């Protein structure tokens, strides 16, 4: 298959305008010695053939399991209107809105997205999106380092291990001191934080709910963080913000997170959405595109990319970030998703998640040998202690048709018998009861 | 158009989850709950559908307009890849599934796509291995610079500098700086090529790497690229290939054969995945043999029994640079595109992309200054300096083009060209489409001579006129407030 419209005659006419005899002549600047040593690729296939090939590969993936795996990435329902609107090719075949007069649709949608992220988090400003939750956390950390001029970061170990590992990778060549404070009984440890918090600390990073599913009120800890002139960063789960205390209410300076739960399919890990919100004082430290409202020469409202002197295409090595392309289409999914749900739908979504998880906790706690950890309240994910290795239980449950949870031993030493179970609004009472029955059978 | 918040009507609902089948649990204690409600709009489904449908109509896009935005490769995005990415077997697949004990067999199709994509990218670029994790081109650059740092650290060296060209994308110096390097900038000579005297002067054993774009952002292939590469290697520096312009090189030249140690590919550019209003893209990074052991984990391997698995056993790996396996949905579309075009189709894409750019250059060079009059590859860069003398700047030309239904070229980039107009037509545009655009550009050149104000007042046919960008920056209004 080819998508080239040129006829042989077109090509001849164009070559003669250029003043060359052949297409090969156009490539004569490439020395013969640099021509490919090999270019061994398959022959062209028809649309039908490629579609069939990939249909077969798609069928090899098990998506029929009843899913209780979350661990930061959740199986939520996506209303059909989200897919329909995001499939408008006037959205998906456009690019970064550098020319505002022919991109008002995109610019307004991003402005609305930024507004919605501010409403969810309670914070003042947001941007046009980042790649994912992990890279958003890296950007937030860099903001704090620049803002404070310090080089120490305190990380709560309830922050998703994948994100913590990413931070270590990104800073291999930077002089940054990391301190990890332990989670005790599933909760952030105040004493440990106070032990390490000092006037060299640039930021303290918490996650709510934390990786174990525990919900906390971080207000007291954030207050201490601020006493030392450091910034407080929250890794937030947006769906939970339909119910939980907001980053702003707890005093956080920056909130970031994975926006996948806002109408974006799981799609084997991406594309996802990194969101960010911050206090207005930090806006000039923010990474990436930001859309602002202004007026045209007739005084009509319009939208533009703004505060661009932070960005790489202007500031080059002095930019606040190297990000150029972001995840705009995923941000569009998020704003359409939230607009459809509205104020009431969004609260309802959070409520259903909470209720289903509570029901699952109740149901699973009745199984002999299963201990539901209850030292902290939870939102839609919780930890259970099993009488045997969680890996083995997970393997057996797959045969019963369940992806029953995430074994914590993969990320935390000594937690081999612990399982992290997520229950979204998609899980029915019947599925939860079957999960319990099957679990009882395999233990 | 009114904001979605301004269409709010109390009592409206656009979506409901229905009654919960398990209600009745004790509510979460108040101290953990939000006290202030999120002020989200209440609308019907039709309200929302009409709002975003009408917003979409305010955009230029590849599907509606010629979009010769230089450096962005706005080629046509085939529709069938959208359908493939939406197959439930891909779109509903949880990324942690293959990380569960016994779960690898549940994602064999997806792992095969990753494994085969990596092999194709390696063959196309001549590199030894790829990581598919980077989520965009700039993210690929940052990954590349982290690999460069890991390589030198492993050699026991702490090199300080990364060299970039003054014509480079802004992401090159930004990526180098974010990863902890100081940036040295090499000017472009009067002949349009990297100034080799300056280059030699800055090259020493404190240079960790040289980042180059090839063809460069002027659209020019430097015939001395091999010499430049060898000079970098001779002082122990690594060589990074910014693959933003790879479209012109398919089957014509491979970075690996030149001697580059690292390359990123912008899948959304070269392999036709939709750009989505600024993303998502994908920026896989390929490396030469000596860097393979440092690649991020996990990596996908093919076992002896022909099954696929995730492998974490790379002790020198830099670790995770993204949570999972990259922007899988984007990789999948690029994979489908490569399979459809095949070897001959990819070569043809490069050839016609170069033909189209040269045709634009040939037809327009009488009317606009060509700062470096050389054979171009996939894009040509003009200067509107001649027009600017009459008060018609690159920005004015862009706005006039909008009025005529064309997305403007990239303007004011590369920074080394005054009043730059960077035109990348891509291979999917027909001769007729190019001729119509070129005729408009010629008309603008005539107007600039005879009637400049006809250009400088544009756009006049759009829903809005030029916007006050100074006000936007000085009095930032970045969100709706009631």
Quick one: how far is CA B139 from the chain centroid? 10
Whether B29 has a pLDDT exceeding 90, the answer reads yes
Q: Partners of A103 in the beta sheet?
A: B59
Total residue count of chain B as it appears in this document: 482
Are B328 and B381 contained in the same domain? no
Q: Partners of B410 in the beta sheet?
A: B422
Give the model's pLDDT for residue A418: 97
Are B196 and B264 contained in the same domain? yes
Which pairing describes strands A201-208 and A152-156: parallel, antiparallel, or unpaired? parallel
For B393-413, the pLDDT digits (tens) are 999 999 999 999 999 999 999
Tell me the CATH number at B402: 3.90.1150.10
**What chain A residue is nearest to B11 in terms of C-alpha separation?**
A344
Q: How far is A41 from chain B (nearest CA, A)?
A: 5
User: Residue B5: how many CA atoms within 13 Å on its side-chain side?
Assistant: 16
**Chain B residues within 8 A of A392 when measuring between CB atoms:** 101
Which of B339, B371, B391 is the C-terminal boundary of a domain? B339
Are B398 and B325 contained in the same domain? no
- DSSP 3-state of B273: coil
**Chain A residues within 8 A of B69 when measuring between CB atoms:** 95, 98
Are B330 and B423 contained in the same domain? no
Are B90 and B233 contained in the same domain? yes
Q: How many domains does chain B have?
A: 2
Instruction: Measure the CA–CA gap between A234 and A252, rounded to whole angstroms.
Output: 7
Are B207 and B319 contained in the same domain? yes
Give the model's pLDDT for residue A1: 77
Q: Is residue B307 part of a domain?
A: yes
Whether B11 has a pLDDT exceeding 90, the answer reads yes
Are B242 and B279 contained in the same domain? yes
φ, ψ (nearest 5 deg) of residue A146: -70, -45
Q: Is residue B480 part of a domain?
A: no
Arithmetic mean of pLDDT over chain B: 97
φ, ψ (nearest 5 deg) of residue A187: -120, 155
Instruction: Measure the CA–CA gap between B222 and B242, rounded to whole angstroms.
Output: 14
Q: How many CB atoms lie within 10 A of CB A159?
A: 24
Q: What number of H helices and E strands is found in chain B? A: 16, 12
Instruction: Measure the CA–CA gap between A155 and A171, rounded to whole angstroms.
Output: 14
Are B145 and B219 contained in the same domain? yes
Instruction: Measure the CA–CA gap between A121 and B160, rounded to whole angstroms.
Output: 40
Residues B177-205 have a mean pLDDT of: 96
Give the model's pLDDT for residue B209: 98
**What chain B residue is nearest to A51 in terms of C-alpha separation?**
B84
Percent of chain B whose pLDDT exceeds 90: 98
Q: Is residue B151 part of a domain?
A: yes
CA-nearest of B335, B199, B201 to B270 is: B335
**Chain B residues within 8 A of A112 when measuring between CB atoms:** 3-5, 480
Which of B339, B361, B382 is the C-terminal boundary of a domain? B339
Which pairing describes strands A402-403 and B129-131: parallel, antiparallel, or unpaired? unpaired
Q: Which domain holds residue B393?
A: 352-456
Give the model's pLDDT for residue A186: 85
Residues B307-333 have a mean pLDDT of: 97
Instruction: Measure the CA–CA gap between B339 and B81, rounded to whole angstroms.
Output: 11
Residue B102: pLDDT band (50, 70, 90) is confident
Helices A161-170 & A133-148 angle (0-180, nearest 10): 50
Cβ atoms of A354 and B211 within 8 Å: the answer is: no
Q: Does the distance separating the beta carbons of B179 and A351 come in below 8 Å?
A: no
Whether B217 has a pLDDT exceeding 90, the answer reads yes
Q: Is residue B479 part of a domain?
A: no
Q: Is residue B72 part of a domain?
A: no
φ, ψ (nearest 5 deg) of residue B188: -90, 135
Residues B372-393 have a mean pLDDT of: 97
Q: Is residue B61 part of a domain?
A: no
Instruction: Measure the CA–CA gap between A203 and A201, rounded to whole angstroms.
Output: 6
Cβ atoms of B421 and B401 within 8 Å: the answer is: no
Of A43, A347, A406, the CB nearest to B342: A43
Q: How far is B7 from chain A (nearest CA, A)?
A: 11
Q: Does the distance separating the beta carbons of B466 and A296 come in below 8 Å?
A: yes
Residue B54: pLDDT band (50, 70, 90) is very high
The continuous run of DSSP H or E covering B183 comes out as strand B182-186
**Chain A residues within 8 A of B53 when measuring between CB atoms:** 85, 88
Residues B76-93 have a mean pLDDT of: 98
- List the beta strands (DSSP E) in A197-280: 201-208, 231-236, 254-258, 274-278
Of B398, B468, B479, the CB nearest to A126: B479
Are B311 and B368 contained in the same domain? no
Residue B157: pLDDT band (50, 70, 90) is confident
Q: How many CB atoms lie within 10 A of CB A372?
A: 18
Q: How far is B136 from chain A (nearest CA, A)?
A: 6
- List the beta strands (DSSP E) in A5-100: 66-67
Are B273 and B250 contained in the same domain? yes
Are B129 and B267 contained in the same domain? yes
Q: Is residue B24 part of a domain?
A: no
Instruction: Measure the CA–CA gap between B182 and B316, rounded to whole angstroms.
Output: 25
Which of B339, B374, B408 is the C-terminal boundary of a domain? B339
Q: Which residues contact B272 (CB under 8 A, 6 or more apart)?
A: A3, B75, B76, B77, B78, B81, B333, B334, B337
For B243-261, the pLDDT digits (tens) are 999 999 999 999 999 999 9
Percent of chain B whose pLDDT exceeds 70: 100
Tell me the CATH number at B279: 3.40.640.10
Buried b (16+ CB within 10 A) or exposed e, B122-147: bbbbbbbbbbbbbbbbbbbbbbbbbb
Of B22, B325, B355, the CB nearest to A11: B355
- Mutation target among B52, B212, B272, B374 for the A interface, most CBs of A within 10 A: B52
What is the set of domains in chain A, with CATH numbers? 66-77+343-442 (3.90.1150.10), 80-337 (3.40.640.10)
**Chain A residues within 8 A of B276 when measuring between CB atoms:** 91-92, 94-95, 327-330, 332
Q: Does the distance separating the beta carbons of B467 and A37 come in below 8 Å?
A: no
Q: Is residue B14 part of a domain?
A: no
Residues of chain A with pLDDT under 50: none
Quick one: how far is CA B22 from the chain centroid? 46
φ, ψ (nearest 5 deg) of residue B437: -65, -45
Give the model's pLDDT for residue A267: 98
Q: How far is A431 from chain B (nearest CA, A)?
A: 11
Are B320 and B389 contained in the same domain? no
Give the model's pLDDT for residue B312: 95
Give the model's pLDDT for residue B158: 86
Q: How far is B274 from chain A (nearest CA, A)?
A: 5
For B437-457, the pLDDT digits (tens) are 999 999 999 999 999 999 999
């Amino acid at each position: 298959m080819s998508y080239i419209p040129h006829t042989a005659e077109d090509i001849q006419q164009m070559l003669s305008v250029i003043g060359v005899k052949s297409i090969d002549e156009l490539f004569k600047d490439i020395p013969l010695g640099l021509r490919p040593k090999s270019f061994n690729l398959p022959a062209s296939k028809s649309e039908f053939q490629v579609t069939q090939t990939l249909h077969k590969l798609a069928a090899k993936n098990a998506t029929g399991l009843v899913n209780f795996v979350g661990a930061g990435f959740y199986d939520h329902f996506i209303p059909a209107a989200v897919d329909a609107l995001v499939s408008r090719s006037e959205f998906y075949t456009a690019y970064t809105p550098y020319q505002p007069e022919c991109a008002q649709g995109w610019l307004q949608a991003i402005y609305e997205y930024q507004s919605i992220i501010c409403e969810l988090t309670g914070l003042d400003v947001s941007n046009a999106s980042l790649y994912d939750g992990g890279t958003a956390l890296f950007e937030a950390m860099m903001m704090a380092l620049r803002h404070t001029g310090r080089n120490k970061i305190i990380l709560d170990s309830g922050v998703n291990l994948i994100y913590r590992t990413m931070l270590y990778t990104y800073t291999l060549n930077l002089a940054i001191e990391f301190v990890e404070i332990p989670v005790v009984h599933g909760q952030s440890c105040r004493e440990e934080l106070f032990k390490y918090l000092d006037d060299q600390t640039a930021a303290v990073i918490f996650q709510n709910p934390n990786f174990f599913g525990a919900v906390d009120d971080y207000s007291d800890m954030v207050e201490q963080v601020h006493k030392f002139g450091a910034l407080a960063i929250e890794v937030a789960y947006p769906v939970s913000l339909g119910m939980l205390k907001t980053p702003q209410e707890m005093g956080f300076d920056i909130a970031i997170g994975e926006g996948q739960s806002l109408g974006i399919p799981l799609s084997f890990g991406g594309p996802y959405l990194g969101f960010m919100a911050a206090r207005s004082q930090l806006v000039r430290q923010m990474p990436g595109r930001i859309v602002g409202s202004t007026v045209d020469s007739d005084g009509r409202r319009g939208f533009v990319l703004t505060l661009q002197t932070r960005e790489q295409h202007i500031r080059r090595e002095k930019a606040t970030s190297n990000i150029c392309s972001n995840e705009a289409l995923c941000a569009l999914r998020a704003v359409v998703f939230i607009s459809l749900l509205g104020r009431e739908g969004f609260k309802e979504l959070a409520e259903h998640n909470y209720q289903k998880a509570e029901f699952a906790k109740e149901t699973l706690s009745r199984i002999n040998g299963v201990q539901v950890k209850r030292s902290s309240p939870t939102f839609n994910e919780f930890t259970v202690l099993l009488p045997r290795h969680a890996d083995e239980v997970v393997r057996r449950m797959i045969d019963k048709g369940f992806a029953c949870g995430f074994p914590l031993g993969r990320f935390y030493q000594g937690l081999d018998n612990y399982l992290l179970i997520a229950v979204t609004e998609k899980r029915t009472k019947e599925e939860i009861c079957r999960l319990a029955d099957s679990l009882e059978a395999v233990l | 158009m009114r904001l979605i918040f301004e269409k709010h009507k109390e009592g409206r609902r656009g979506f409901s989850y229905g009654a919960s089948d398990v209600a009745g649990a004790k509510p979460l204690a108040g101290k953990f709950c939000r006290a202030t409600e999120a002020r989200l709009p209440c609308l019907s489904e039709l309200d929302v559908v009409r709002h975003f449908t009408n917003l979409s109509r305010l955009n230029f896009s590849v599907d509606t307009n010629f979009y010769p935005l230089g450096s962005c490769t706005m080629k046509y995005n085939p529709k069938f890849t959208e359908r493939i990415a939406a197959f439930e077997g891909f779109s509903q697949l949880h990324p942690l599934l293959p990380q569960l004990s016994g779960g690898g067999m549940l994602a064999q199709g997806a792992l095969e796509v990753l494994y085969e994509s990596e092999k194709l990218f390696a063959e196309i670029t001549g590199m030894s291995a790829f990581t598919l994790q980077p989520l965009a081109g700039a993210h690929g650059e940052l990954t590349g610079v982290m690999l460069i740092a890991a390589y030198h650290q492993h050699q026991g060296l702490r090199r300080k500098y990364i060299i970039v060209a003054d014509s480079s994308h802004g992401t090159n110096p930004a990526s180098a700086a974010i990863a902890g390097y100081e940036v040295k900038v090499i000017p472009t000579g009067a002949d349009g090529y990297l100034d080799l005297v300056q280059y030699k002067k800055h090259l020493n054993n404190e240079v960790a790497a040289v980042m180059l774009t090839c063809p460069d952002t002027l659209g020019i292939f430097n015939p001395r690229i091999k010499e430049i590469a060898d000079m970098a290697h001779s002082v122990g520096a690594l060589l990074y290939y910014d693959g933003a312009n790879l479209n012109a090189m398919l089957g014509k030249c491979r970075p690996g054969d030149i001697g580059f140690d690292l390359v990123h590919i912008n899948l959304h550019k070269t392999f036709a995945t939709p750009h989505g209003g600024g993303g998502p893209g994908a920026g896989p990074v390929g490396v030469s043999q000596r860097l393979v052991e440092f690649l991020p984990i996990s990596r996908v391997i093919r076992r002896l029994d022909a099954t696929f698995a995730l492998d974490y056993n790379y002790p020198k790996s830099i670790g995770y640079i993204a949570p999972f396996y990259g922007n899988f949905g984007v990789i999948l579309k690029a994979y489908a595109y490569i399979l459809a075009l095949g070897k001959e189709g990819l070569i043809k894409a490069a050839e016609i992309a170069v033909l189209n750019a040269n045709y634009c250059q040939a037809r327009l060079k009488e009317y606009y200054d060509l700062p470096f009059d050389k054979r171009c590859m996939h894009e040509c860069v003009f200067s509107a300096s001649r027009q600017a003398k009459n008060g018609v700047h690159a920005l004015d030309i862009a706005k006039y083009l909008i009025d005529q239904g064309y997305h403007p070229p990239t303007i004011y980039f590369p920074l080394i060209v005054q009043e730059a107009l960077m035109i990348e037509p891509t291979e999917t545009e027909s001769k007729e489409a190019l001729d119509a655009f070129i005729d408009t550009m010629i008309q603008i050149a005539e107007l600039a001579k005879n009637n400049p104000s006809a250009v400088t007042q544009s756009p006049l046919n759009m829903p809005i006129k030029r916007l006050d960008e100074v006000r936007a920056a000085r009095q930032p209004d970045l969100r709706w407030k009631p």
